[in-house]
Amino acid sequence: MQIALDIASWTLLIAGGAFVFTGGLGALRMPDFYTRMHAASLTDSLGTILVLFGIALQAGVSLAALKLITITLFLLLTSPTAAYALANAARLSGVNPEHVVATNEQR
Amino acid sequence: MVVLFGLFLLTLLVITALGIVNADNLFAAVMLMGIFSLQMAAIFFVLDAADVALTEAAVGAGVATMLLLGALALTKDKEKRRRRRRWPAIVIVTVTTLMMIYATFDMPRLGDPQAPVHQHVAPWYLSETPKVIDIPNVVTAILASFRGYDTLGEVFVIFTAGVGVMFILANGSGNGRRTMVPSADSTGLRHHLVPRVVGRLLVPFIVLFGLYVQFHGEYGPGGGFQAGALISAGLILYALVEGEKEALRAIPLSVLVGMIAFGAFLFGAVGVVGMLFGGNFLDYSVLLSNPVAGQHLGIMLVELGVGITVTGVLLTIFHTIAARRKDH
């Protein structure tokens, strides 16, 4: 039972770490603002939440696990909202996706 | 492990600080300062200073960033660049840095129990708190009771800051008060559905957490300062999503000004009542027949006063900045 829990939690932790890494890489390497932001929002939502679930499994049935799940719920609400607000603000201030602009001008 | 974390966070801190100095876009500088505060909070937490970490995260990364953004909405967001080299400044910074590095050679190792700071009054506080005050959080015991004078002074500093901001910024606000929440009109973010729905959902929980921090400060990290910052952050979020007018309808400016004065008054009044009961100023032991219960009551009232004043001041500063017109 303990081994199964450990395997599950480590799988979640490593998957979360992989998503955080991908997000960081994407934020550095993607071509324009929106794709970079898309990559960065991955870090916030998927990466952090997987890591938090992994830690919660390590904590077992306890107050710490409850707190971690509460934090996860909070992040599930706030980080997509922040990503939305950021993209919306960028669009309102006239930042355009690079390649879409080109195709629009061709039409 | 602590050393590794500390090195990592301090390196990030230096990088962020260089970023702040180099940024000529003030908007970016403000965001970097928020990140700086968050890293600072993480460092405090790694060093087991949970109370300070909570304050830094709530005030530095939350409310201060918000207030700076509000101020930025009133001015240009580009820094005036001066390309001139300032040799005296460089010399002073270099000399100070070298002196501080030299001073670190004499510093005790991190967490050394023989360090002077752990030998002076700290053992006395640690041994006396369970006997005299009997609350688990020694930080709250020191802050509210042992060194109540200092905290009273801090509350008056915050009180003065709030009054000062009102005097300087709130000119001609009596009639024709125009509202301008930064980056939005008086209706706030009403037309942005997602932030509005999520914001409305979160505000009650943020305020509830603030109240928990307020009244749980004797048992865990927290207290009046942190609670005030958290509650005002929640109410500022309300003002941002629902609009300045709605927020002022919920808590009018006159109530906020009253809160500023009442919190400081409550703190002082508890001290004076102690004197009337025959004790010293800010001696809570005489408040009730049982000295320990008296300490509990006094600390709770004093922390409540701190929380009320901090909430009032932060919200007043926010509303005062938000009500300013942009100078052209």
Please count the structural domains in chain A: 1
**A64 interfaces chain B, CB cutoff of 8 Å:** no
A107 to chain B, minimum CA–CA distance in Å?
A: 30
pTM: 0.84
B192 to chain A, minimum CA–CA distance in Å?
A: 9
Using one digit for the tens of pLDDT, what is the confidence trace for B63-80? 899 888 888 888 777 777
Label residue B179 by pLDDT band (50, 70, 90): very low
Show residues of chain A in contact with B192, CB under 8 Å: 85, 88
The answer to whether the CB of B321 falls within 8 A of the CB of B71 is yes
Asked if B198 and A88 come within 8 Å (Cβ–Cβ), the reply is no
Sequence spans of domains, chain B:
121-328
Label residue B41 by pLDDT band (50, 70, 90): very high
Angle of helix B26-46 versus helix B2-22 axis, rounded to 10:
170
Asked if A81 and B195 come within 8 Å (Cβ–Cβ), the reply is yes
Show residues of chain B in contact with A24, CB under 8 Å: none
Range of the domain at A99: 2-106
DSSP B38-87: HHHHHHHHHTT-HHHHHHIIIIIIIIHHHHHHHHHTTS-SBPPP-----H
- The encoded tokens of residue A62 equal 């306890």
pLDDT score of B109: 82
pLDDT score of B190: 63
Q: Which residue of A has its CA nearest to B241?
A: A85
Q: Is the confidence at residue B189, as pLDDT, over 80?
A: no
- Checking ipTM against 0.85, whether it exceeds it is no
Using one digit for the tens of pLDDT, what is the confidence trace for B101-129? 999 888 888 778 888 888 888 888 888 88
Show residues of chain A in contact with B198, CB under 8 Å: 77-78, 81
Asked if B195 and A84 come within 8 Å (Cβ–Cβ), the reply is yes
- Nearest-by-Cβ selection for B192 from A74, A78, A88: A88
Using one digit for the tens of pLDDT, what is the confidence trace for A42-86? 888 889 999 999 999 888 888 888 989 999 999 888 888 888 888
Sign of CA dihedral A54, A55, A60, A64: negative
